[in-house]
């Protein structure tokens, strides 16, 4: 019976390779030979940084990934949703379209997740390999991947790399950014906005059938989609694009955010930061069946979320009003909010609350007389509106304000 290479040797050969060659591709080859398995090393954008496979190995899923240079969004969605991988642990996963299990392990260096090591378990022997060997191998590959991704003198090989460097705040000035894009499509690229698609809620039912990347490129010409920090990033060129997202979101179970308008590509870092916050709110907040939204639609709850820790700024009279609502099951605070945002229009307030005019009049009078809230003082309206909104955000959450925008 033949012994496996890893059973009677250490990973010293990989350590030597790391110091002597400084070559991720050679390290991948040596790792594959040591572990006796095909493998992929992918970066955080799901592109293949290096790979190894024995001459007699055949697997369509593996071969397609190598040929295309990256794994599919469906593949990436599985990684993004896996509980073990999310907390930095390895896991064995069986993928549709392949007869083999795969061992996925995050590659982390200096606390930064750089990518993943994906080993194909062709005969079940990978689970016999001691944890210490896996840890040493993953440490070496992580260090090499870190070195290669952080080289300051490394030229940009693709426009995608330029965009990711821009999103990460890597360009010190707009002229320097323009210099780097001079000979690329980005030099005269004028998208109207961009979209972010979260992969953690992606419905994998269509894996191996209709693939998300194919659908994106079918409906969104010139979108130049790529993965950035676990989300699909794609450019948009017309308002009609947004309508198509509703169909894709329903079909694939997506959560999608549309950014604010793009005036200059150099503004992307700020636009991205806000769009990513909006996407997190869309995923985490209870917004009902809202699958597609925009920064514009969620701007109010986003601002309130960033101010929610400053309850000390809320006028005490409004806090008393909120406490009365809670103890007496009244709606004074919500009535006050609609009254203020409708410029004190009684009709609009009644319509928003679906409440009779006399009931609203009664509430307004109680708010003024019992709680001494100065509604006749126009100079106080901004303070009252902001304080009321902060309290309602705490009580009702982001959905309250998102639904107002949708109505």
pLDDT values of the chain reduced to their tens digit, one per residue, 407 residues: 455 655 555 566 666 666 566 788 988 998 998 899 999 999 888 889 999 999 999 999 999 999 989 888 888 888 888 889 989 999 999 988 899 999 999 999 888 888 999 999 999 999 999 898 899 899 989 988 888 776 655 567 788 889 998 998 888 899 989 988 988 999 999 999 999 998 776 665 544 445 788 888 888 888 999 988 888 999 998 766 677 888 888 877 788 999 999 999 999 999 999 999 999 999 887 776 778 899 999 999 999 999 988 889 899 999 999 999 999 999 999 999 999 999 999 999 999 999 999 999 999 999 999 999 998 888 899 999 999 999 999 999 888 887 666 55
Q: Whose structure tokens read 């992969």? A: 199
d(Cα 161, Cα 96) in Å, to the nearest integer?
30
Q: Are 261 and 193 in contact (CB under 8 A)?
A: yes
* Paired residues of 194 in beta bridges: 235
- Rounded to the nearest angstrom, the gap between the alpha carbon of residue 301 and the centroid of all alpha carbons in its chain is 18
Task: State the SS3 of 192-222.
Answer: CEEEEEECCCCCHHHCCCCCHHHHHHHHCCC
Burial class (CB in 10 A: 0-12, 13-18, 19+), 61: buried
Widest CA span in the chain? 92
Task: Tell whether the torsion through CA atoms of 90, 92, 96 and 97 is positive or negative.
Answer: positive
Alpha helices in 44-173 (DSSP H): 60-68, 73-81, 83-86, 131-149, 159-167
The CA–CA distances, whole Å, from 321 to 247, 340, 341, 369, 378 equal: 43, 15, 18, 12, 19
283: its two tokens: 């995923």
The single residue listed with the structure tokens 């572990």 is: 35
Measured distance CA(366)–CA(317) in Å, rounded: 13
Considering only CA atoms, which of 304, 325, 278, 298 is closest in space to residue 386? 304
Closest CA to 40 of 59, 13, 21: 59
């Amino acid at each position: 019976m033949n012994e496996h290479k890893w059973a009677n040797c250490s990973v010293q050969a990989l350590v030597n390779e790391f110091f002597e060659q400084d070559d991720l591709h050679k390290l991948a080859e040596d790792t594959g030979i040591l572990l006796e398995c095909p493998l992929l090393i992918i970066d955080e954008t799901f592109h293949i940084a290096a790979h190894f496979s024995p001459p007699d190995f055949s697997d369509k899923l593996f071969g397609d990934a190598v040929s295309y240079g990256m794994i599919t969004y469906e593949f990436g969605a599985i990684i993004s949703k896996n509980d073990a991988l999310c907390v930095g642990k390895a896991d064995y996963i069986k993928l549709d379209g392949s007869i083999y299990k795969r061992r996925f392990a995050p590659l982390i260096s200096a606390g930064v997740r750089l990518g993943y090591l994906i080993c194909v378990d062709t005969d079940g022997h990978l689970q016999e390999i001691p944890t210490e060997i896996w840890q040493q191998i993953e440490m070496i590959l992580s260090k090499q991947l870190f070195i290669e991704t952080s080289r300051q003198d490394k030229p940009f090989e693709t426009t995608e790399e330029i965009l990711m460097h821009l999103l990460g705040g890597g360009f010190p000035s707009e002229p320097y950014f323009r210099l780097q894009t001079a000979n690329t499509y980005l030099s005269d690229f004028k998208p109207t906005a961009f979209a972010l698609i979260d992969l953690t809620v992606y419905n994998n039912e269509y894996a191996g059938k209709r693939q998300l990347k194919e659908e994106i490129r079918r409906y969104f010409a010139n979108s130049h989609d790529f993965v950035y920090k676990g989300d699909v990033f794609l450019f948009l060129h017309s308002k009609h694009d947004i309508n198509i997202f509703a169909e894709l979101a329903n079909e694939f179970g997506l959560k999608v955010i549309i950014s604010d308008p793009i005036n200059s590509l150099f503004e992307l870092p700020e636009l991205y930061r806000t769009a990513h916050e909006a996407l997190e709110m869309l995923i985490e907040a209870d917004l009902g069946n809202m699958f597609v939204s925009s920064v514009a639609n969620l701007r109010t709850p986003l601002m309130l979320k960033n101010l929610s820790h400053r309850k000390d700024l809320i006028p005490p009279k409004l806090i008393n009003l909120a406490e009365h609502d809670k103890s007496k099951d009244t709606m004074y605070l919500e009535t006050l909010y609609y009254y203020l945002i409708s410029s004190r229009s009684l009709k609009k307030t009644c319509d928003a609350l679906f409440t009779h005019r006399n009931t609203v009049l009664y509430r307004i009078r109680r708010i003024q007389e019992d709680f001494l809230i100065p509604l006749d003082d126009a100079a106080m309206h901004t303070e009252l509106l902001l304080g009321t909104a902060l309290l309602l955000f705490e009580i009702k959450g982001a959905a309250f304000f998102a639904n107002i925008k949708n109505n």
